[in-house]
Chains A and B, each alone.
Chain A
Amino acid sequence: MSQSFDEITAQLRRRHRRSANLKRMSMGALILAAAFLVVFIGDMLVKGLPAFQQAQIQIEVNYSEQAREIPPAAVGDDVRSLVSRGYLRLIPSRMEENPELLGTQRMEWVIADSTVDQYLKGHNSELRPKEKRVVDRLVEQGRAELRFNTTFFTTGDSRMPEMAGIAAAAMGTVMTLIVTMAVCFPVGVMTAVYLEEFAPDNHLTQIIEININNLAAVPSILFGLLGLAVYINFFGVPRSSPLVGGLTLALMTLPVIIIATRTALRSVPDGIRQAAFGVGCSRWQVVRDHVLPLSLPGILTGSIIGMAQAMGETAPLIIVGMVAFIPDVSASFTNAATVMPAQVFTWAGDPSPAFVEKTAGGILVLLAVLITLNATAVLLRKKFERRW
């Protein structure tokens, strides 16, 4: 049974249409993935950008004898509920530091309560109608406005949203990452050098290789269990400290650095090794003087990417207790600390709109740092990439 030309042409057209459909569908999938990213970043920006602004009001502060005992007495009755309680609490200590303040009265821009902040940003606010009128009047007089939120970048956590900041968590992240990199960079590079340049091809080497690949795929929360059982319960490392967090993350980052370093070492052509051996270098001299310097950009790129990964990790740190409430910025390896993602997690647990804003603000800071790190890695790779 033969087909007519028309039938064959129609069939052909159908087949080509199907082909075009697949192309459209697959393109749609990619666009969908990109759209997720855009929606996601947009959502974070909308929610988080207001966190970088903070309402401040200009009021008269009365540094009286009474204010030292009862700080709220320093401000007038009508605006007392509008001023941040965190700010009021600081008044006595400021008077200690500057004795000349005592007995003076001055107009000052002070941090407003988060309810005022939310009201000025146009959100639902728990302000009473009377207070709203006061705020409206202050705005008209130019005595209440949104300003850049320096508190957010200079303080630690607080129960009051207007006093909460990311600085303590950022310091915790820095301390944790110092521990992480101090442990896993040398160990990772040494492991990779051993496997690529020294190791005989025997069973032990193969087991190590398989093991490293497996370690890379172990869920991160299990490293937290390891940290809890081994570091804290067995070795007695202080809980919640950057030391235990950093050591836990180090084990997690190790496979990333090993794999990146091995790739970098492998990309150095054998001719260089053979030339060095030819003039009488020993294996270690070849590695130290030729292979390592040439693969250093690749190793650094891999390390930066590994560091960025460790920086965004939360689950294992929660297990070892790094979700502590840390109000003060402190650079210590053994005191309780928190890290930026854990701070985001803590804030996310508070359903009030002011803290949702802080959470998204913290996320924006975290994302900015991570993107900077990854971009540095990419630039480094581009700049030093060498084709042999």
Chain B
Amino acid sequence: MLSNLTLLTFCAVLAVLGLIAFVVARAKALRTRQAGVAMYAQPDQYAWFSVLATAGPAILVGAVGAFVMLLLGAEIPTPYLLAASLVIAAIGLFVGVMQVRPDFHARQAIERVIRLALACAALVSIVTTFGILLSIISEAIRFFQMQSLWDFLTGTTWAPGDSFLAAAGRGGEVESVAQFGSVPLFVGTFIISLIAMLVAIPVGLLAAIYMAEFAPPRIRTLAKPVLEVLAGIPTVVYGFFAAITVAPIIVDFAGFFGLDASYNNALAPGVVMGIMIIPFISSLSDDVINAVPDSMREGSLALGMTKSETIKSVVLPASLPGIISASLLAVSRALGETMIVVMAAGMRPNLTANPLEDMTTVTVRIVAALTGDQEFESAETLSAFALGLVLFVVTLALNMVSVLMIRRFREKYRTNTL
């Protein structure tokens, strides 16, 4: 490929220029110094400054040019762009070497450049958030131009059906109209998350209480890694476990009581998701319970309370904001969990509250919409972004509330932890 070779040549020339800058600047600085002139910086620092002056603006120009080409569709031939960049590198080399003067603070100049580079790296995370937000919102807007927002939020039928045919210009042949009522998806997500929380919060919290209040140190050091392993298992593995092992057990169990359960029942992914979240809740709650100052426990015990009474009426109320914050984070995880539900929950949007029936979730529909063979422009594909937007907003709100609660908890006990 031509562009690969050009790029390689460009890099090589730039490297050579940088090397020249280093050697020349260093030699000049050494000469100046040997002439007995006191300098503000070391020769190496002048050398590195020259290298930065050579490469920095050149790379910047190249990157900006490439971005403009991509973003604005402006046709700048690549060789011209790279040539311009090299000319700037040469100018930078000249300026850099000129700057090797006794009264130039090379070290501080390097410092400024490095600080700038670090700050740019820190901005990447902000850019990522905006990238998520913009990419999801822009596609979601296109979806809502096709479908009404009200129907999306209140409709009870999710039947993307043949929307891909409409996108392909053959919509007239089919009678059915695609419907995007997301209520069944939200209900399914909610029920599965609820089941997960019913498993995870009691077990996780009790395990945390045991580890923080009762367990001897030896069991503590043994139990922590066990929970960490549970947390480190990939979700796709949990999904397989839910679909292959847990779901048939639940079907058999329900059959034993004369109940009819689907193999894609909501209970299996819910329970397994709960298991997945146990370590999350237990480790966060463990930290919070440990942060409750011992003086409060001692006070309670001194009044003749038993251990369980101390835990119930002193430790838990004190750590409640932290535990709620952990639970909210766990809920946001359950809502966004994908693989377990994709593998174990159903595909059929089903508005029901019976956990033995199959139901589907927001994340399942996102995956289904984006792994099919539809056109990207079709309403079904774009509906994934609308669902993603809802997911993003809900999880973001949960995280915010959770962060605020944990901050309040920390502030309450900051003075006492010493």
Contacts and interface: CB of A to CB of B under 8 A. Distances in A.
Given A27-B214, A193-B118, A282 B367 contact: no
Interface in B167-220: 202-207, 209-211, 213-215
A70 interface: no
Interface string A327-369: 0000000000000011011001000000010011001001100
Given A219-B395, A230-B135, A341 B307 contact: no
Interface in A198-252: 198-199, 207-208, 210-215, 217-226, 228-230, 233-235, 251
Nearest to A183: B124
Contact of B236 (A21, A217, A226, A312): A312
A43 interface: yes
Query: Which applies to chain B's interface (DSSP): helix, strand, loop or mixed?
Result: helix
A223 B132 contact: yes
Nearest to A364: B237
A366 B395 contact: no
A33 B203 contact: yes
B332 interface: yes
B118 A194 contact: yes
Given A221-B338, A222-B136, A19 B236 contact: no
Contact of B126 (A211, A229, A348, A356): A211
A283 interface: yes
A89 interface: no
A254 interface: yes
B67 to A, nearest CB: 10
A258 interface: yes
Contacts of B118: 190-191, 193-194, 198
Contact of A26 (B110, B129, B136, B214): B214
Nearest to A311: B234
Contacts of B307: 19, 22-23
A134 interface: no
Given A312-B236, A341-B234, A208 B125 contact: yes
Interface stretch (A51-59, A108-116, A268-276, A314-322): A314-322
A228 B370 contact: yes
A277 interface: no
Contact of B388 (A29, A221, A318): A221
Interface stretch (A34-42, A91-99, A293-301, A379-387): A34-42
B278 A312 contact: no
Interface in B90-146: 107-108, 110-111, 114-115, 117-119, 121-126, 128-129, 131-132, 135-136, 138-139
A284 interface: yes
Interface in A53-69: none
A33 B234 contact: no
B8 interface: no
Nearest to B202: A29
A323 interface: yes
B124 A191 contact: yes
Contacts of B60: none
A217 B308 contact: no
B229 interface: yes
Interface stretch (B27-35, B156-164, B241-249): B241-249
B124 A367 contact: no
A30 interface: yes
Contacts of B251: none
Interface of A: 15-16, 18-19, 21-23, 25-30, 32-34, 36-37, 40, 43-44, 47, 186-187, 190-191, 193-195, 198-199, 207-208, 210-215, 217-226, 228-230, 233-235, 251, 254-255, 258, 282-284, 308-309, 311-315, 318-319, 321, 323, 341-342, 344-345, 348, 356, 359-360, 363, 366-367, 370-371, 374, 378
Given A219-B391, A221-B391, A348-B243, 8 more contacts: A26-B207, A27-B214, A28-B206, A30-B223, A225-B136, A226-B131, A318-B367, A318-B370
Q: Which 9 A-B pairs have the closest CB atoms?
A: A219-B336, A312-B234, A229-B135, A29-B206, A26-B210, A190-B121, A194-B118, A315-B338, A19-B308
27 contacts: A15-B309, A26-B209, A26-B213, A27-B214, A30-B223, A33-B207, A33-B230, A194-B119, A195-B122, A199-B119, A208-B122, A208-B123, A211-B125, A214-B400, A215-B125, A219-B337, A220-B338, A221-B388, A225-B366, A225-B370, A234-B135, A283-B115, A312-B233, A315-B342, A342-B236, A345-B236, A363-B237
